[in-house]
């Protein structure tokens, strides 16, 4: 008789264990792995607003150019976040700086590699101000940037002469680009 009583009790415990294991497993998986990965990325865009002083080339661009916008691109789990600074200037040029960063919190972070700079000269604005065709581009690194920065934005110090002629509707293009911060 005693054996027959333990069989239903065994199934009751088994059912209870299954009922508890499924949500507990989900909780541990979600908050232990997925949640942790998402938690690590909280504050990335806050850092874009508050961390400018910690990303030296971005702060220097902000100092030189009136219309300089900052944002962070995060490309997925186990990847590097990238700080982007984009300046629109001279009614013709778009300068973008990209540098890999590690973010510790919404107020702390640092670069983890060298910045890369991309200067694009707009030839014509298209699509009602939402697009552009480019005539020249110039890629350079931190050494060239330091010469440009120390000369107060003179790109001729690195062999790139700026065209002073404005491109019609350039401001429409700048306004349609990634929002200012």
The pLDDT profile of the chain, 181 residues, written as one tens digit per residue, is 455 566 677 777 777 778 877 777 766 666 655 455 555 556 666 777 777 888 899 999 999 999 999 888 876 656 678 999 999 999 999 999 999 988 877 778 888 999 999 999 999 999 888 889 999 999 999 999 999 999 999 999 999 999 999 999 999 999 998 765 5
Could you give the dihedral angle defined by the CA atoms of residues 149, 154, 157 and 160, in that order, rounded to the nearest 10 degrees?
120
Q: What is the pLDDT of residue 20?
A: 76
Taking the C-alpha atoms of residue 81 and residue 40, their distance in angstroms, rounded to an integer, is: 11
78 Cβ neighbours under 8 A, 6+ residues apart: none
Residue 154: Cβ within 10 Å count: 13
Per the CB < 8 A criterion, the answer to whether 7 and 1 are in contact is no
Domain ranges of the chain: 44-176
pLDDT the model gives residue 1: 47
Give this prediction's pTM.
Answer: 0.75
Torsion sign (Cα): 103, 94, 119, 125: positive
pLDDT of the residue at 37: 53
């Amino acid at each position: 008789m005693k054996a027959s009583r333990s069989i239903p009790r065994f199934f009751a415990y088994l059912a209870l264990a299954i009922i508890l294991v499924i949500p507990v497993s989900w909780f541990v998986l979600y908050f232990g792995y997925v949640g942790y990965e998402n938690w690590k990325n909280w504050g990335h865009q806050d850092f874009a607003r508050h961390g400018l002083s910690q990303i030296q080339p971005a702060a220097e661009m902000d100092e030189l150019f009136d219309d300089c916008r900052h944002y962070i691109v995060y490309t997925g789990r186990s990847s590097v976040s990238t700080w982007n600074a984009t300046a629109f200037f001279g009614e013709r040029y778009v300068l973008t700086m990209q540098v890999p960063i590690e973010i510790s919190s919404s107020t702390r972070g640092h670069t983890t590699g060298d910045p890369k700079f991309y200067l694009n000269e707009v030839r014509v604005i298209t699509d009602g101000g939402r697009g552009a065709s480019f005539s020249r581009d110039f890629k350079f690194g931190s050494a060239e940037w330091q010469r440009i920065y120390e000369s107060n934005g003179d790109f001729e110090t690195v062999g790139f002469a700026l065209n002073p002629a404005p491109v019609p509707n350039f401001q429409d293009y700048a306004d349609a680009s990634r929002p200012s911060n």
